[in-house]
Structure 1
Amino acid sequence: MLDASIPLKLQEIVQRELDCDERVVWSEMPKPKYFSGPALGMFLFAIPWTAFSVFWMAGAAGFKIPQFNNGEDLFPLFGIPFFLIGIGMLSSPLWAYRNSLRTVYLITDRRAITIDGGMSYTIRSYTPEKLNDTFRREHKDGTGDVIIFRNSWRDSDGDKQMQELGFLRIDDAKSIELMLKQLAEPANARERRS
């Protein structure tokens, strides 16, 4: 039961991922948003970053258009990489939106699958044994996230970082969480018996 609104390219990737007799029970794409949490934070940080880089380049040029006829006029060009980084951060909401249009979530009769798009595709498969700690974060309208796996680590500064994986920005998060728990139930029963 693959959702008809899923683009053909994603449908082909899904078909390649499925085993020959595996059946799709549920499929959905995330609701595209320009300003998801991480993209919004980066966008807000990018505003002063980019503004300062433009101001710095203008100041380095003496607030006039450089003539580039002597070596001093080349100094403002050192600000270009910082300006380009700022433009990249300002466009992060567009990239987040674009990536959500290349992402699909699946529940089959055997496992849960996420296919995350971008420049390449990342495919994560969660067998029933991996669905034990599933939980949801839900909004008042029923949309939300169903978190399947949490990955935490310490960065080079020793600060704790967290990545949550699962079905993000979906409709009816509660029923999807229930479907995942039902898929995990036979594995939980086997674990209790042993």
Structure 2
Amino acid sequence: MQTPGLPSQDLDSILRRELLPGEHLLWSGRPQPGKLNAAFAIWFFAIPWTAFALFWEAMAFLPWVASTHTPSGIQWSFGIIFPLFGLPFIGVGLGMLWMPFGARRKAAQTIYGLTDRRLIRISAGRKRESASVMLGQMGPIDVSADADGCGTLRVQTGTGRDSDGDRVTERFEVLAVPDVARLESLLLERRAAVQL
């Protein structure tokens, strides 16, 4: 399956245009959409959810289809309310089924870069989104990698509070990039140089 995305040279030029005056690009990488298969785990929940929502909708329409006489007022009311009640649940189910494909599509339109000053993420879909974290703002780093070296690097950038008041750790993630160990080593070198 071909995932729509921008050609490498277009993403590279977008990344280079994002650089500040005097900033030097040390590393760049694109996520491998095929490595995002974990996103499909949501289907263990989404398929039964959507199947039940579709079953509900079919059962709600059954009286309309099977009836041979004109429905009474109460049957008429419930005949409209029950099918309408099921529609949002079908929408949520279809949305969950689409999520892994959306993640792969976004990955195909994303590029990461490490400069002598910061770590950058740019997504160039329908609208361009850019995020970065300065080397001096980075906390602990954790890396997970497959046998082929492709992996994810997470940098702790701070802590905050969620809507319930619970403490949450904020992270900047570089997802599913090849040779993640090289990125980690360059990042640690640059961070050590900044702290001197």
TM-score range (shorter-chain normalised) is: 0.7 to 0.9
Match of 2:62, SS state, is coil
Return the offset for 1:51: 0.6
- 2-structure distance, mates of 1:118, 1:153: 29
Query: Is residue 73 of structure 1 aligned with residue 75 of structure 2?
Result: no
Percent of aligned pairs with the same amino acid = 33
**Residues 89-128 of structure 1: pairs in structure 2 closer than 5 A:** 89-117=96-124, 120-128=127-135
Q: Is the 8 A contact 2:31 2:107 kept in 1?
A: yes
Q: Which protein has the bigger helix share?
A: 2
Contact kept? 2:36, 2:176, Cα under 8 Å: no
Bigger drift between 40-49 and 152-161 goes to: 152-161
- Equivalent AA in structure 2 for residue 43 of structure 1: W
Alignment check: 8 A CA contact 2:138 2:157 kept: no
Distance 2:85 2:183 in 1: 51
**Pick aligned residue for 2:8 from 6, 9, 15:** 6
Are residues 114 and 59 of structure 1, via their aligned partners in 2, closer, same or farther at CA, if it must alter by over 3 Å? same
Unaligned runs of 5+ in 2: 1-5
RMSD: 3.1
TM-score, with length taken from structure 2: 0.77
State the AA in 1 paired with 2:79. D
- Whether the 8 Å CA contact 2:155–2:172 is kept in 1: the answer is yes
Mean Cα deviation higher: 154-163 or 88-97: 154-163
Change (3 A) 1:156 1:98: same
The residue that corresponds to 1:169 in the other structure is 176
What is the aligned length?
A: 184
Query: Contact 1:152–1:162 (CA<8 Å) still a contact in 2?
Result: yes
What 5-or-longer segments of structure 1 have no aligned partner?
190-194
Report the AA paired with residue 26 of structure 1.
Answer: W
